[in-house]
């Protein structure tokens, strides 16, 4: 019931994306409301990354609209979307390996030229509070961090843009189970600081267990949607995505 009253922050409406002859997304509709964690699960090639790229203005849309906080952003370029408060943390933790943790975070804030020096300072404090590990290692080269720490840095860099919506592409990829748990706990913490999260994951059980709602994507089509709990206990989801 509570969900009904929440404001819509992102609305993907009947979106289609093609790569040449490949129909990557077909008539996809997804809604994300304020302060929610929404997860998009699906196998390899289902269209998860393409969805985030479409929201970030990185791929051409064949049909459909994307509305962010009542504004039509369907054809907006990426730099404008950052200024509106949308951060995208891509798959594979693309941090700058030669730069220090501190410099990587500063680089994140440069994505949003609307930020004042004071804003940058505040965001840095916020990120260090969420990830004390990064504060301890602020002078260390990004490339010398552990896999989990690099993921924290990639997320921290996204948060430096002071986003309202943060989109995370497979944050658990390639990490040991114990580290993955820590990352998912952090995602909950980020939401609790007033951010809205759109999370893409192959680790469906972890993602659904922290998500308010989820969507199941299959070869570019939304097949199912429900609360995280509903999907976790759904027989088809269990069989196909949870290996149960």
- What residue ranges bind ligand ATP (CB under 6 A)? 19, 22, 24, 42, 44-50, 202
> What length does the chain have?
244
Minimum CB distance to ligand ATP smaller for 69 or for 221 = 221
Token duo for residue 243 = 């290996």
Alpha-carbon distance of 178 to 172, in angstroms, equals: 10
Rounded to 10 degrees, what is the CA torsion of 50, 51, 54, 59?
10
Q: Report in angstroms how near the CB of residue 231 gets to ligand ATP at its nearest.
A: 17
Minimum CB distance to ligand ATP smaller for 53 or for 166 = 53
- Cβ atoms of 188 and 39 within 8 Å: the answer is no
Q: Report in angstroms how near the CB of residue 202 gets to ligand ATP at its nearest.
A: 6
Minimum CB distance to ligand ATP smaller for 52 or for 153 = 52
Minimum CB distance to ligand ATP smaller for 219 or for 229 = 219
Minimum CB distance to ligand ATP smaller for 18 or for 229 = 18
- Cβ atoms of 39 and 58 within 8 Å: the answer is no
* Longest CA–CA separation in the chain, Å: 51
β-bridge partners, 141: 100
Minimum CB distance to ligand ATP smaller for 19 or for 121 = 19
State the burial class of residue 83 (Cβ atoms within 10 Å of its Cβ: 0-12, 13-18, 19+): middle
Alpha-carbon distance of 193 to 37, in angstroms, equals: 12
Minimum CB distance to ligand ATP smaller for 8 or for 205 = 205
3-class SS at 25? strand
Helix then strand then coil, in percent of the chain rounded to 5, is 40, 25, 30
User: Cα 173 to chain center, whole Å?
Assistant: 13
């Amino acid at each position: 019931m509570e969900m009904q009253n929440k404001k819509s922050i992102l609305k993907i409406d009947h979106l289609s994306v093609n790569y040449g002859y490949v129909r990557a997304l077909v008539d996809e509709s997804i809604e994300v409301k304020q302060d929610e964690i929404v997860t998009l699960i699906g196998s390899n090639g289902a269209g998860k990354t393409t969805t985030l790229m479409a929201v970030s203005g990185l791929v051409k849309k064949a049909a459909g609209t994307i509305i962010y906080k009542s504004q039509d952003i369907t054809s907006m370029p990426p730099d404008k979307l950052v200024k509106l408060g949308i951060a995208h943390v891509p798959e594979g933790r693309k941090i700058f390996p030669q730069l220090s943790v501190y410099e990587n975070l500063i680089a994140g804030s440069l994505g949003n030229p609307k930020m004042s020096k004071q804003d940058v300072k505040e965001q840095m404090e916020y990120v260090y509070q969420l990830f004390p590990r990064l504060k301890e290692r602020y002078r260390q080269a990004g490339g010398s961090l552990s896999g989990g720490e690099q993921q924290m840095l990639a997320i921290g860099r996204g948060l430096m843009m002071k986003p309202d919506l943060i989109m995370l592409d497979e944050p658990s990829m390639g990490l040991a189970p114990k580290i993955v748990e820590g990352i998912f706990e952090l995602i909950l913490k980020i939401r609790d600081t007033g951010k809205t999260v759109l999370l893409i994951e192959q680790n469906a059980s972890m993602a659904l267990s922290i998500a308010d709602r989820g969507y199941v994507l299959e070869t570019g089509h939304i097949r199912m949607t429900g609360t995280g709990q509903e999907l976790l206990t759904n027989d088809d989801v269990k069989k196909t995505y949870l290996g149960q």
